[in-house]
Structure 1
Amino acid sequence: MARESWASRAGFILAAVGSAIGLGNIWRFPWMTAENGGSAFLLVYLLIVLGVGVPGLLAAFVIGRRSNRNPVGAFKSLAGSRVWTALGALCVVTSIMLMSFYSVVAGWILRYFLESATGAYFATPEAHFAAISYGAEAFGYQFAVLAATALIVTAGIRRGIEATTKVMMPGIAVLLVGLAVWATQQPGAAQGYEFYLGFDGAYLAANFLSVLGSAAGQALFTLSIGSGTMITYASYVDDDRSLPLDASAIAVLNLGIGIVAGLVVFPLLFSFAAGPTEGGPGALFVGIAGAFASLPGGRLLGAVFFLVVLLAALTSLISMLEIPVSFLVDEFDLERSTATRGLFVLVTLTGGVNAFSPAVFTLFADHLVDLFLVLGLTGFMLYTAWVLGPAAIDEYRNGAGPISRPLAIPWRYAIGTLFPTFLLFTFYADVTALLGLSVGTGLLAVAALLTLVAFVLVARRSVSENRPHSSDNAD
């Protein structure tokens, strides 16, 4: 079966940015920022996106383009090792886990978009959200969003994903900028900007580990790295594209959209809600709904806002579904339509559990996904550095410009040592916090270093065991 490719560089970048932006920047980012000290979280998040996210994106791009396969097929064909193939399988599991709770939130957004016409959520925003967030009605809206996602993915890379995101992404950007300009005129705008942009060093010093873990998870969530999305998307990229340029463009655009989303949400939360920490996962719906209820033309503004968020949610769901779809198409030679239908049924079932259970939803959205993404990206980096090795440098340099080409070797060793150590440190910090344990930074650092050494030994052993096969793929 002939494999598709992107029709243009712009199509690939917009699809990747659409995957990265999604609800991570508009729904989850304000929630995480509010719960982690506002500006303190923002600073750490920005540093991780640029310092770790871009090199991580490059590792995923190299694996994807080198193999021209889905995550499972990529590790199987390039390494020939069961250990690394299991990492590809983890990507498929993570993507299904992501869709299972993500589609619930997308269903909320679809409902609020439709209800903006009547102002159904205006009178008592908090009570309204509590009444509709879980249960049979939430499942119904979730089903509708998943059905729309499946239709787009069934159409394929060019006619479905690329064509859709080329329309959606400019629309999201234009509408968000317009809302940000409007938000400057609201009564609590100055207070919102202070919370969001005014650096709070004292909070960061007192809560460093918790902020670090949350910021790392959020960075990986918004960039769609660690789940295999970017491996899958890069598998459709031609050899003459500059991977460093594309990774940098995606990260910068993602940051820009995320920052603008904060410039919309926080002024409104301070203007019309009890504060930025109110509502948890429902903060966007409770606080923003209050804003629209008290404004002239609130129904129209509400419809525009939730349309933006709905489009962003769809672009991310599309990328998540493409991971297991490409796996079934590549590895089992299924028709794309057949694979998509089967996965639609599966995610409808797993997502339904999240739609009916707040406890399961919170476990997925606030804890498990972050941990899985950190482990996934750590594996991508170590695999690229120590298994692909020189082949990774060759792939990095294909299509790269004169500025980025000399950075190939430093990049390889950084993703093989420094960045995985950092990610493992945040992983252990998150796990200990989840378990309610108090562990010093020194012990966390030792655990991260020992785990890194173990990972590297496994990587080197897999190379020696499969040297003839790996050598063939490196040519």
Structure 2
Amino acid sequence: MEKQTEQWSTKLGFILSSAGAAVGLGAIWKFPYMTGMNGGGAFFFIFIFFTVLIGLPLLIAEFVVGRGAQKEAVSAFQKLAPKSIFSFIGKWGVVGAFILMSFYSVVGGWVLIYSLLSIPGMVIKDGADYTGLFGMITENPLITVAALAVFVFINSFVISNGIKNGIEKYSKILMPLLFIFFIIIVIRALTFEGAMEGVRFFLQPDFSQLNGENILYALGQAFFSLAVGISVMVTYSSYLSKDVSLTKSAASVSIMNIMVSLLAGLAVFPIVFSFGLEPTEGPKLLFIVLPEAFSQMPFGEVFLCLFLLLFLFAILTSSFSMLEIITSAVHEKTKANRKTIAWIAGLIVFIAGIPAALSSNLLADFHIFGKTVFDASDFLVSNIMLPGGCLLIALFVGFKMDRKLVEQEFHAGSHWRNGMFQTWYQLLRWLAPITIVVVFLYSLGVI
């Protein structure tokens, strides 16, 4: 089997990088506001259910495809399923990653600005208007586009340095810092009077709050937060040696993702409820509600700075994976210089992201199916491309990919009994695709 020229230097580097790909906007920005808007604890419970029984099997499936083919996403499916309908799955993933990063980088730019302002204490000030501050940043086209450019520049710089000296090197630094900062903030959040009300909202499920739309969002959130469905993990696992257990690595990534989501909820909701704020603020929750809450606590400037920095770390490690799948696909196809491809890909992503950056200002009145460019891109990726990609990958690995190769990759580097393989294989073949189809049709009102 032909090997990738680049490899992860350590198993830990691969796990941290993969976890970094998963832990980002999905866990820290999107998860708290989606939970707040969709029933609190019930949404969290369904999210865990989907993550364990559907997301984890799909994550293992992407790992199996990537290391089994020893190719990046596009070439992997073309190699394993030549002249088949499944051969385009990798291209589906690259397009999804491209669209995702185009609007993802806009939020990355917002966080970058907030992080820079928080270091000298310019976010929290006496009499500050946090809604006005958010509006000043997002409604100014020059600021939003410039922040987008800087965020994409950072990504291009890291990706241009390759796997060991780029993604792995920075993930080993940023991911541990993320957990340290998170634990500090959670401890502080839980000390506030009234914090337990927020904990109950987050951890005590009320299933009467759920409907088909909530369940679809929970499914999409599980896929979004694990970075499955757009073949990012196919590309990452293609750089992995054969002596590493894919199942243990996937379990580690999934556990870290659930832990970060748990920490995000325990950091956000106790603060929100302690200060009498609303958890249903939506996407603005972390940019308006939390700064207002931090402003009311001792050393609020310090804690807000820590929170924004960990948010920035998470977004960067996740966005690295999106630009990597694009860069690696073009590099495999053209054999051109990787550094050049990374910078050109970054430039194209920047240009494509400009309409999303302008969605809150110059293009605020331009709508696609009733949504701004930013919201339409988010909906397309989160609720169509990710579930659609997951469905295709489940069907491919479950029914089309050579079973001997699947078993070989599943068992390599571990000592799982065959019963474990059978359980995973049946979950992938039947539960994952059926659930995806049923939830999607239910959300559309078809069933």
Match of 1:288 in 2: 290
Q: Given the alignment, which residue of 409, 416, 428 partners 2:441?
A: 428
Q: Which aligned pairs between 1:262-273 and structure 2 lie closer than 5 A? A: 262-272=265-275
Q: Which amino acid aligns with 2:158?
A: I
Q: Does 1:381 align with 2:394?
A: yes
Any conservation in 2 of the 1:115–1:121 contact (CA below 8 Å)? no
Q: Distance in 2 between matches of 1:81 and 1:2?
A: 23
2-structure distance, mates of 1:334, 1:59: 29
5+ residue gaps, structure 1, are 433-437, 444-475
Alignment-derived partner of residue 57 in structure 1: 59
Q: Answer whether contact 1:273 1:291 (CA < 8 A) is retained.
A: no
Are the counterparts in 1 of residues 4 and 70 from structure 2 also a CA contact under 8 Å? no
Paired position in structure 2 for 1:138: 144
What is the distance in 2 between the residues matched to 1:169 and 1:393?
A: 31
Correspondence 1:172 to 2:158: no
Q: Which residue is equivalent to 1:459?
A: none
- Give the Cα separation in 2 of the matches to 1:143 and 1:210: 34
Work out the CA distance in 2 between the residues paired with 1:180 and 1:121.
Answer: 20
In the alignment, what sits opposite 1:393? 407
Q: Is residue 188–residue 267 contact of structure 1 (8 Å, CA) maintained in 2?
A: yes
Match of 1:274 among 274, 277, 284: 277
Match for residue 214 of structure 1 among 217, 221, 229: 217
Residue equivalent to 2:162? 156
Please give the secondary structure, in 2, of the residue aligned with 1:14. Answer: helix
1:325-474 correspondence runs (5 A)? 325-358=327-360, 359-390=372-403, 391-403=405-417, 405-430=418-443, 432=444, 438-439=445-446, 443=447
The residue aligned with 1:247 is 250
Q: Tell me if structure 1 keeps the 8 A contact 2:397–2:406.
A: yes
Kindly indicate whether the alpha-carbon contact (under 8 Å) linking 1:136 and 1:356 is maintained by their aligned counterparts in 2: no
Q: How does 1:189-200 map to 2 (within 5 A)?
A: 189-200=195-206
SS in 2 for 1:276: coil
**How far apart in 1 are the matches of 2:124 and 2:351?**
28
Deviates more, 1:184-193 or 1:250-259: 184-193
Shift of 1:273: 5.5
Report how far residue 159 of structure 1 moved: 0.7
Q: Deviations over 1:53-87 (max 9, x none)?
A: 11111110010001111111001111112522222
Q: Deviations over 1:368-387 (max 9, x none)?
A: 43310001111111111111
For 1:178 and 1:318, how far apart are their aligned partners in 2? 26
For 2:413, the aligned partner's letter is G
> Tell me, which stretches of 5 or more residues in structure 2 are unaligned?
361-371
Q: 1:368 to 1:319 in 2, by over 3 A?
A: closer
Q: CA deviation at 1:136?
A: 2.0
Match of 1:446 in 2: none
CA shift at 1:138, angstroms?
Answer: 1.1
Deviates more, 1:194-203 or 1:214-223: 194-203
What secondary structure, in the 3-state scheme, does the structure 2 residue paired with 1:417 have? Answer: helix
TM-score, normalised by the number of residues in structure 2 = 0.93
TM-score, normalising length from structure 1? 0.87
Please, which of 115, 125, 138 is the counterpart of residue 130 of structure 2? Answer: 125
Aligned with residue 14 of structure 1, among 9, 16, 29: 16
Deviations 1:366-406 (A, max 9, x none): 45433100011111111111111412122212222134x43
- Is contact 1:273–1:290 with CA below 8 Å preserved after alignment? no
Instruction: String of CA shifts for 1:222-251, please: whole Å, max 9, x gaps.
Output: 000001110000001111211111111110
Distance 1:175 1:418, change over 3 A: same
Look up the SS of the partner of 1:172 in the other structure. helix
Deviations 1:101-145 (A, max 9, x none): 111111111111111124346411112212312422111111111
Partner of 1:64: helix, strand, or coil?
helix
CA contact (8 A) 1:121 1:128 kept: no
* 2:82 partner letter: G
More deviation, 356-365/315-324: 356-365
Structure 2 Cα separation of the partners of residues 2 and 342 of structure 1: 22
Distance 2:34 2:45 in 1: 13
- Distance in structure 2 (CA, Å) of the matches to 1:302 and 1:407: 44
1:419 aligned partner, one-letter code: A
Partner of 1:69: 71
Amino acid at match of 2:191: Q
Deviates more, 1:120-129 or 1:282-291: 120-129
1:34 to 20, 25, 36: 36
Q: In 2 relative to 1, CA 308–67 (structure 1 residues): closer, same or farther, beyond 3 Å?
A: same
Give the % identical residues. Answer: 33
- Paired with 2:293 and 2:27, the residues of 1 have a C-alpha distance of 20
Q: CA deviation at 1:304?
A: 1.0
1:227 partnered with 2:230? yes
Cα deviations across residues 171-228 of structure 1 (Å, max 9, x unaligned)? 0001100100000122331221111111213223xx2x12210100000000000011
Between structures 1 and 2, the one with greater helix share: 1
Aligned residue in 1 for 2:366:
none
Once residues 383 and 13 of structure 2 are traced to their aligned partners in structure 1, the CA distance between those partners, rounded to angstroms, is 28
Structure 1: distance between partners of 2:59 and 2:91 = 19
Q: For residues 26 and 188 of structure 1, what CA distance do their matches in structure 2 show?
A: 22
